[in-house]
Each structure stands twice: as structure tokens, then as C-alpha cells.
Amino acid sequence: MSFNFAQYEEKLKKGVDHLGKELATIRSGRANASILDSVKVEYYGSQVPLSQVASINVPQAKLIEIKAWDAGALPAIEKAIQKSDLGLNPVNDGKLIRINIPALTEERRKELVKFAKKVGEEEKVSLRNHRRAANEEVDSAKTKGELSEDQQKKEKDRIQKTLDRYIQQIDKTLTDKEKEIMEV
């Protein structure tokens, strides 16, 4: 048979994992090193991820510390953080860069929740597209005579139940992120 269920489920799992990574970059009121994942630093003529030129620590709930492996990179790191759209204000003392995470306004929290839901909905659409492709593979196998009508129905039910399970995971992840963002 041409339909590979394990491959389908792996695509769904990757989608949920991708959503988790996307949501980790959304700033809540708490310090989290992963909000800096998208920051690229100009280092010796090329753009490199911040994590490749410095160590990032979260010593307190509202503080991020960045220690560059090369002290000469501190100004470039500071500039990259300021240029990012994260709304963070880095303080460079010559040895470390400290970032105080300000409390979010109610309006900003609501915007972030709305953005998180948008990202979650995009991921659900992606998973539904995987379901559609899987159903088409099953239909094709039925047309080729590789599956009986009963087998086709069972496979489609299995595909749908698996999708429903992953959609529930997305909904739970979004609910958890919403609680985290709205927490004062």
C-alpha cells in the first residue's frame, strides 16, 4: 500500500513541535532566554544567531543576562537586541548585557494572545492540509485496488482521529500560553 501512516503522524508531530518553538519566542511577563532566539548578531561580517556568540542566562524572573564569549562582540549584541522588534532595552556594562523584562500592559498582553492564537490557527491549517494529502493517498490506493472500501474507511477514520488528537494538543498549548501571557 502507498499510504504511510507513520509518516503522516510524524508530520503532525513536527507541526505541534514547531508551534511550541514559535510560541516560546512570544514574550510573556517572565524572562525566558528563548525570546532571543530570533536575534541575529553582526559578527565578523556575517549574521549569526545570538546563541552562537554568547551564553544567555535567566538569573531572576524579570532579568536576562548575556555574556559574550568575545567581549568585543558586546556592542554588536546590544545593537542587534535594540534593532529586534522585541521591545527590549539592553544595558551593557562592558562585561555583561542585562535586559530587564518590563511588565506588559493589559493591551499588549491581549495583542500577544491574539498573535499566539493566529500562529496556532495557522498550524491547525497546516495539519489539516496534511490530513487532506493523507486522505488523497488513501483514495488513490483504493482506486488502484490496493485497499477495499472498508479498509479505506478505517484508514480515513484513523487519519481523522489522529488529527483530532494533535489539534487537542495545539489547543492545550495555546491555552497554557494564554495563561502565561495574561499572568500578572
Residue given cell 500578572 in the structure block: 184
Burial class (CB in 10 A: 0-12, 13-18, 19+), 91: exposed
Cell numbers describing residue 25: 519566542
Neighbours of 39 (CB within 10 A): 19
- The SS3 of residue 78 is helix
Cα(162)–Cα(176) distance, rounded to whole angstroms?
A: 21
Specify whether 124 is located in the same domain as 59: no
Tell me the pLDDT tens digit for each residue of 11-37: 999 999 999 988 887 877 777 888 888
0.85 exceeded by the pTM? no
- Please tell me the total count of domains within the chain: 2
Cα(151)–Cα(137) distance, rounded to whole angstroms?
A: 13
Eight-class DSSP state of 20: H
Domain range for 79: 33-100
Residue where one domain finishes, among candidates 100, 132, 154 = 100
Specify whether 116 is located in the same domain as 177: yes
- The SS3 of residue 13 is helix
Report the mean per-residue pLDDT for the chain. 89
Percent of the chain whose pLDDT exceeds 90:
57
